Amino acid sequence: MAEQLTSARFQELFESALQAYETKTGFTLAQHPLAVQLQSCHSVDDITSLLQGQAMAFSDFQASDKIMKSIKTTVSILTPLSDAAFLVDAVGLVRL
């Protein structure tokens, strides 16, 4: 029962954040160019490479191993969460 309440609360917060993003930007997060590119990623390495390319687009970004290691670690943690039963509906809005 507690897991269902937590899941419902997370879903509510996530949907609220998506709505706030849409209100502020004028388009849904799923339509964002980066989200569209993420749809074609099938591994942690794919996601990391995409994010590294995005980060390098900033002229003041120094591609350090420490930053990229942090990004890869974060993606490695978040990727399995997208398969968690109680997160599938919410995360699927961004990453199918």
pTM, 2 dp: 0.53
Residue 93 pLDDT grade (very low, low, confident, very high; cuts 50, 70, 90): very low
Mean pLDDT of the chain: 76
Contacts of 7 (CB under 8 A, 6+ apart): 86, 87
pLDDT in tens, 15-40: 888 889 889 888 888 888 888 898 88
Residue 65 pLDDT grade (very low, low, confident, very high; cuts 50, 70, 90): low
